[in-house]
């Protein structure tokens, strides 16, 4: 049973005034692909290194299966790690690199050759076994690093931003290969990335971290449709969710002289104490309406992507007094009929697609 459990696991670096990872509670199921995601410095790599035994756990515990591995050295944890810089031996062939850990473990030559051949077939590396790393592309080197992990047949795979050194096209291709590979092997995998698109396309579940604290852990679709707080709402999705704060009025929240409808019970709970409400809405959930029927905005930038166009707009200047920290409002629209820079538009949000947050706690209000 290769589950992974972080039980109130905390790591505080010397001379730091706050934990790098703060009381992390997280259970990863047997065979699950879990992605840790968040901005730089959020504690995702530290969490992975705590699981690997490369960082101390100052309080709490880390378990693999039913075994407490908190104080065990890395070699005793039965994990295999794939790093972002490949960490291949330049003087060894692909075959030797993939089999090196087995050689150190005393595995026989025949068994090592069998496992390496099997991994090479899975990763489509059979034609490269006798080459050295310098003769391989970045994507091929990363597959060799993954092959080295596979041959060990560990309880848990750990991957620390393995695609960050690849170009955009190769990242997409290798991402697909990793997804197929992990699904085929069925090995519990913990994957770290700062790229939320990568996280959403790979993970069975995605754990979002901020300043060492777990914000939400859920299936990608749940994170997208029901973010637990303003941070998750703004971090998940590309472009990010639009988040604005305005005064609560009868029937909803007033933005730019118009009222976006909010259900009465949500409005009352979100506005309690401040009289304001924070709302969020995705660019694809914005509708263009006629003058006087929605929030007036002015187009600053039009971003053409071929299949879509994104309008980066600002609330019309005469209507920003009632809005706290007005920012860009991004609208997805049909590219062939996209408005031009400088155009004034009126927008509203599709029914049922407005997210409501408490402006003080930043938590979702359902």
| pLDDT one-digit tens code per residue, 73-130 | 998 999 998 887 878 899 999 999 999 988 888 889 999 999 999 889 888 899 999 9
Cα–Cα distance for residue pair 322/344, rounded to 1 Å: 19
Q: Return the pLDDT at 321.
A: 52
Residue 145 lies in a domain: yes
Residue 325 has pLDDT above 70, yes or no: no
Q: Return the pLDDT at 142.
A: 85
Of 176, 205, 234, which residue sits at a domain end?
A: 234
Mean pLDDT, residues 9-14: 96
Of 234, 257, 289, which residue sits at a domain end?
A: 234
- 214 with 256, same domain: the answer is no
Cα–Cα distance for residue pair 193/207, rounded to 1 Å: 11
The listed range with the strongest mean pLDDT (70-84, 101-115, 181-195, 219-233) is 219-233
Q: Report DSSP state, residue 56.
A: -
- 198 with 277, same domain: the answer is no
- 28 with 131, same domain: the answer is yes
Q: What is the CATH number of the domain that holds 335?
A: 2.40.50.140
- 93 with 138, same domain: the answer is yes
Work out how many domains the chain is built from and give that number: 2
Q: Return the pLDDT at 315.
A: 82
Let me know: does 199 contact 37? Beta carbons within 8 Å: yes
- 198 with 248, same domain: the answer is no
Q: Which residue has the higher pLDDT, 321 or 50?
A: 50
Residue 362 lies in a domain: no
Residue 316 has pLDDT above 80, yes or no: no
Q: Return the pLDDT at 173.
A: 82
What is the domain extent for residue 350? Answer: 242-357
* Close Cβ partners of 339 (under 8 Å, ≥ 6 residues apart): 299, 302, 311, 333, 345
């Amino acid at each position: 049973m290769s589950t992974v459990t972080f039980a109130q696991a905390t790591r505080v670096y010397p001379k730091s005034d706050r934990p790098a990872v703060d009381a992390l509670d997280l259970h990863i199921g047997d065979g699950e692909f879990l992605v840790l995601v968040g901005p730089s410095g959020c504690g995702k790599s530290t969490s992975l290194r705590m699981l690997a035994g490369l960082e101390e756990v100052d309080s709490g515990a880390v378990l693999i299966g039913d075994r407490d591995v908190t104080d065990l050295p890395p070699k005793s944890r039965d994990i295999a790690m794939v790093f972002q810089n490949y960490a291949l031996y330049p003087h060894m062939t692909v075959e030797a690199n993939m089999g090196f850990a087995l050689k150190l473990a005393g595995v026989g030559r025949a068994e090592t050759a069998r496992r390496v051949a099997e991994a090479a077939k899975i990763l489509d590396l059979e034609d490269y076994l006798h080459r050295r790393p310098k003769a391989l592309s970045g994507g091929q080197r990363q597959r060799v690093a993954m092959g080295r992990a596979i041959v060990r047949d560990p309880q848990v795979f750990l991957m620390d931003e393995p695609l960050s050194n690849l170009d955009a096209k190769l990242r997409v291709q290798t991402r697909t290969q990793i997804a197929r590979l992990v699904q085929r092997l069925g090995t519990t995998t913990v994957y770290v990335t700062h790229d939320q698109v990568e996280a959403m396309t790979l993970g069975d579940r995605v754990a979002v971290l901020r300043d060492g604290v777990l914000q939400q852990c859920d299936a990608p679709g749940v994170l997208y449709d029901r973010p637990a707080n303003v941070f998750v709402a703004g971090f998940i999705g590309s472009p990010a969710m639009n988040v604005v704060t305005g005064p609560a009025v009868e029937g909803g929240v007033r933005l730019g002289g118009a009222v976006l409808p909010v259900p009465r019970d949500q409005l009352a709970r979100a506005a309690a104490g401040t009289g304001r409400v924070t709302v969020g809405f995705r660019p694809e959930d914005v509708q263009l309406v006629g003058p006087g029927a929605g929030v007036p905005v002015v187009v600053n930038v039009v971003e053409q992507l071929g299949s879509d166009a994104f309008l980066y707009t600002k609330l019309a200047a005469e209507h920003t007094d009632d809005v706290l920290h007005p920012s860009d409002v991004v609208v997805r629209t049909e590219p062939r009929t996209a408005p031009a820079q400088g155009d004034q538009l009126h927008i509203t949000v599709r029914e049922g697609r407005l997210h409501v947050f408490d402006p003080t706690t930043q938590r979702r209000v359902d």
